[in-house]
């Protein structure tokens, strides 16, 4: 089908590359019908962990070019600001490395989001506040490199194109500490604990367990027509959502005698706070 562009935009980026954008009206073909649903937990060790148990590696695009970028930036810093031609060449070299990193990251995210939207009718993610997470200066660089916000933007507009559903579970939902088998809520879960044993005896991979809990919570929101989970305090009960979740998760379970549910590593030793 032939289409006539209504708008043509010519632009140049910081790396000196020229782009031509054509705006056309087009019809996106319907995606194949499916009833599959998946929960997606984002991370730093693995970029994505799916409720199916699949883990997508974090390619660490910025780290791969970090030495080249640092060298180019040092050379740029040594250029005198009045030296126009040499400084411009050094600036373009830095911009090209940044563009190479961004292009690789964008290409990888496009492939991942297209596969998720094509294979699943419902995709459940966590409603993360990236702006608050990057305030941790020891993790900020790694968080910017995985581009969680860009991943969500790509996923949502592609889902809208193909008639899929993206559910964002509230950030205060304890997906990591909740046992996906029995519903027990662990008291603490330090970042260093990657595998833990629930009191029901199930050994959990931290990320896979979180993805399964996100999927279950997202499906319950769709089935019940619920909205966003209360974040810090419930106006009805006057309790924090964490306390309410603890009561819901442990309802109907026999009380523990003398000890609380603690995250444990695979050797059975309790993990420190």
The catalytic residue positions are 41, 126, 207
Of the CA atoms within 13 Å of residue 37, those in its CB half-sphere come to: 17
Is the distance from CB of 20 to CB of 10 less than 8 angstroms? yes
CA proximity to 246, closest of 205, 188, 181, 207: 188
Is the distance from CB of 150 to CB of 106 less than 8 angstroms? yes
Please report where in the chains the tokens 């126009």 appear, as a residue: 84
CA proximity to 202, closest of 259, 261, 246: 261
The CA distance from 101 to 204, in Å, is 34
Question: Which H or E run includes 218?
Answer: helix 206-224
- The total number of residues written for the chain in this structure: 273
Token readout for 49 is: 């962990």
Q: What is the DSSP letter of 105?
A: H
Work out the angle at residue 69's Cα, subtended by the Cα atoms of residues 89 and 132, and round it to the nearest 5 degrees.
120
Helix (H, G, I), strand (E, B) or coil at 154: helix
Token readout for 30 is: 């319907």
Is the distance from CB of 147 to CB of 105 less than 8 angstroms? yes
């Amino acid at each position: 089908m032939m289409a006539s562009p209504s708008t043509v935009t010519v632009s140049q980026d910081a790396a000196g590359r020229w782009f031509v954008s054509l705006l056309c009206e087009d019809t996106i073909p319907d995606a194949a019908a499916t009833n599959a649903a998946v929960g997606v937990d984002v991370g730093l060790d693995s970029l994505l962990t799916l409720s199916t148990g699949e883990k997508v590696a974090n390619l660490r695009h910025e780290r791969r070019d970090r030495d080249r970028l640092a060298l180019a930036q040092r050379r740029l810093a040594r250029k005198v600001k009045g030296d126009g031609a040499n400084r411009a060449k050094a600036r373009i070299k830095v911009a090209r490395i940044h563009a190479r990193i961004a292009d690789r990251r964008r290409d990888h995210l496009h492939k991942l989001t297209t596969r998720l939207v094509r294979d699943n009718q419902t995709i459940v993610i966590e409603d993360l506040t990236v702006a608050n997470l990057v305030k941790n200066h020891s993790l900020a660089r790694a968080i910017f490199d995985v581009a969680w916000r860009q991943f969500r933007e790509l996923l949502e507009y592609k889902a809208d194109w193909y008639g899929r559903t993206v559910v964002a579970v509230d950030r205060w939902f304890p997906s990591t500490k909740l046992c996906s088998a029995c519903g027990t809520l662990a008291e603490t879960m330090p970042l260093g604990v990657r595998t833990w044993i629930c009191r029901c005896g199930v050994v959990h991979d931290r990320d896979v367990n979180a993805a399964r809990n996100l999927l279950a919570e997202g499906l319950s929101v769709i089935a019940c027509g619920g909205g966003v989970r209360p974040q810090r305090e419930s106006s009805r009960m006057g309790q924090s959502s964490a306390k309410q979740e603890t009561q819901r998760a442990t309802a109907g379970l026999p009380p523990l005698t003398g000890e609380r549910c603690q995250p444990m590593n695979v050797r059975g030793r309790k993990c420190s706070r």
